[in-house]
Structures are given as C-alpha cells and as structure tokens.
Amino acid sequence: MRAIVQRTTRSTVVINNEVTAAIDEGLMVLLGIKSGDTENEARYIIDKLINLRIFPDEAGKMNLSLLDIKGELLLVSQFTLYGDVRKGRRPSFTEAELPDIAEHLFNYCVNYAKLCGVKTEVGIFGADMKINIVNDGPCTILLDSEKIF
C-alpha cells in the first residue's frame, strides 16, 4: 500500500458539486492498494498514519500524532498511486489491485482507523471526486508498506 499523507487544517471531498466528506485539523490521505496487499499492510499503514508525529507541540516541533491532537482522518482511495510511467507517456496501472479486492481492503482500513478511535471520513470508492485540501505547513509524507513487507 502507498499513502500520500498531508497534514491539513481543512479538507473536503466534493462529488457532483456536493460536499460528501469533510474534516478539520488532521490528515488527508490518498491511499493506493497494490495487487497482493493484505490486511497486514492495511493495519501497518493505519497504525503508521495515526501515530506519525507530524503535528507541532507547544514548542513548534513536529512531536505530536493524530491521536495526540485528537485530529480527524480523511481517506480517499487512489489507484493511480500505482501508475507506472517508466515506458511511454500513458500510465499503466497493472500493479494496482482489482477494484473488488481494493474496495474490501480500503473499507478494512476505514474500519480499523475508526476502531482505533479516530474520527474518519471517506471519499466514495471509484467516484469522480474533487478534493479540496488546505495543506498545513505544507507537510506531505509518503508511506509505502512494500518497504517493510
């Protein structure tokens, strides 16, 4: 799994000109699921997300996690994170998981985050979404479970 993590002061998902999900201070995460990913990778990514110490403490140091600040999480499925453009000019998505399996793992991630006590909002799997992000910092982190498993 790959995750693009953005610390945000506000983020929304808009579908057909309607806000369908919104968070205030927290993390906006684009989540890509690779063929062969399992619930192990899902738990790893969510545990890493909610415990990343990227929020400032009283001294302004990145020392607090999403859990510490009681922040919110916006998860958006993003198969294009596995786009391969090494050959040609059009991305190949052969490494991305099949939609049915990816949707199951995405929902697992959402439910696991909620079980960990994080207020979690989601994009609509497979929908054409407009994502509005007020990136705080800016602070953007790339996570990749393949580097671990």
Is 38 considered catalytic here? no
Question: How much is the pLDDT for 82?
Answer: 95
Catalytic residue among 79, 93, 106, 120: 79
The pair phi, psi for residue 60, each rounded to 5°, is: 85, 5
Catalytic residue among 78, 93, 106, 140: 78
Mean pLDDT of the chain: 95
Is 78 considered catalytic here? yes
pLDDT (tens digit per residue) in 40-76 = 999 999 999 999 999 999 999 999 999 999 999 999 9
Catalytic residue among 9, 80, 140, 149: 80
List, in order of start, the domains of the chain with CATH numbers. 2-147 (3.50.80.10)
DSSP readout, 76-138?
EE-GGGG-B-SSSSS-B-TTBPPHHHHHHHHHHHHHHHHHTT-EEEEPPTT---EEEEEEEEE
The predicted model scores a pTM of 0.93
Is 80 considered catalytic here? yes
Mean pLDDT value of segment 14-19: 96
Question: How much is the pLDDT for 149?
Answer: 59
Say how many CA atoms lie within 13 Å of 6 toward its Cβ: 22
